[in-house]
Chain A
Amino acid sequence: MVRFSNKTETKTVQSILSYQKIARMFLKIGATAFGGWSTTAVLLEKETAKLSPQPQLRGAIAYAQLLPGATQVAIVANVGYQLRGFAGALLATTSYLLPAMSLITVFAGIYFTYVHNLTNLGSRLDGLVAALAGIILANAYKIGEKHATHSFLWFCGILACTVRLWLHINPIFILMFFGVCGLAYYAGYRKGRPS
């Protein structure tokens, strides 16, 4: 089991770690962090264990999960900020993303040059598309499970799916509407109206 520091607040460590060392550390993590954000967290904990004072990884993870977008990027940016302020955050994030971005760019180059235009490829990828649909559906359930702490909130998720699928309403409006529904639910919850 991974054990993180007990400190939960994020403060600036502003250690004496040089920019060069930050770049090298996050390049290494970016090149080896396969899988979800937890792999990145484990590698970060290992890499920062030698530093004194240590950046507060647990706080970075806690806040990253509350923020939108890729959790890994938020964790890396937060830790980078603790190490050397804004410049440290920028350097850490860029270094972290560089290996994967290079690989994707090379893949895209090969794909769009040699694979994309193969005329008989369409039906051969049906299995891949079906598998993708299954994974997307599983992700939808995982996201819902994370946020739906009350039955009313599950209802919101199902309603959002229905509205999107049959009425084709723009996702932006759906997201904002249900965000406001969440706020309204909180206001009602405080007054003790919902059971």
Chain B
Amino acid sequence: MIGDVITLFGVSLFISLVTFGGGSQALFYQFGVVQNHWITSNDLSSVLAFGYATPGPAVFGTAAFIGYKLAGPLGAIIGTIGIFIMPFLLATLAAKHLAKFVDEPHVHYFIKGVGLAAAGIVAATAFSVVGVHPLTFIQVAIAVGSLIASLKFKINPLFILVVGGLLGVVI
């Protein structure tokens, strides 16, 4: 258990360092569901739905949720510290020392490269999430509908998840 919590702390730290502009849920899927089997796809979907319904960044909710599963409230605190400590330290440093560094074009292009790789990994995760079992027509329709609803109509992810979940139960 302690080993898992330490691993979660490291994973959260890593995720917070490599996600520029989003995509952390995909990495939590990779490390939390696929690699370490801490939670299932269903658990992740549930916590993301709840995360979108709560204030603050949804990403850290996933870290707290997995932490709770591993070690109760203390695990939730450790997961949360893992996910916010680096952005916190970097932002504090940016306020004091990093201002010139982050304006460097080299840094911008490194971030572009990492950001695009993150986008690619996130896309791959989307296929992995639904690709565990053979897909039904309804599942494909819900996934495509959610993609369009999010991209084209900018509908709140919580609403999309609730509607998708209800359709899955009703149909």
* Residues in A lying within 8 Å of B, measured CB to CB: 9-10, 12, 30-35, 37, 60, 63-78, 81-82, 86, 89-90, 93, 96-97, 99-101, 103-105, 107-109, 111-112, 115-116, 121-122, 124-144, 146-149, 153-154, 156-165, 171-172, 174-183, 185-186, 189
| Top-4 shortest CB links A-B | A127-B168, A182-B113, A131-B164, A134-B146
Contact B123 A73 (CB under 8 A): no
| Closest-CB distance, B12 to chain A (whole angstroms) | 10
Contact B61 A100 (CB under 8 A): yes
Contact B88 A182 (CB under 8 A): no
A72's partner among B56, B127, B150 (CB-CB below 8 A) is: B56
In the complex, A178→B115 CA distance in Å? 9
Contact A112 B161 (CB under 8 A): no
B65: Cβ under 8 A from any A Cβ: yes
Contact A33 B86 (CB under 8 A): no
| Closest-CB distance, B157 to chain A (whole angstroms) | 5
| Closest-CB distance, A161 to chain B (whole angstroms) | 4
* Residues in B lying within 8 Å of A, measured CB to CB: 14, 16-27, 29-30, 41-51, 53-57, 59-61, 64-65, 68-69, 73, 76-77, 80, 83-84, 86-88, 90-92, 94-96, 98-99, 102, 105-130, 135-136, 138-140, 142-151, 156-157, 160-161, 163-169, 171
Contact A103 B54 (CB under 8 A): yes
- Specify which chain B residues have a CB less than 8 angstroms from the CB of A180 in the assembled complex: 110, 113
- Specify which chain B residues have a CB less than 8 angstroms from the CB of A10 in the assembled complex: 94-95, 99
Using A130-B168, A132-B44 as known contacts, say yes or no to A77 and B120 having CB atoms under 8 A apart.
no
B129's partner among A65, A77, A111, A132 (CB-CB below 8 A) is: A132
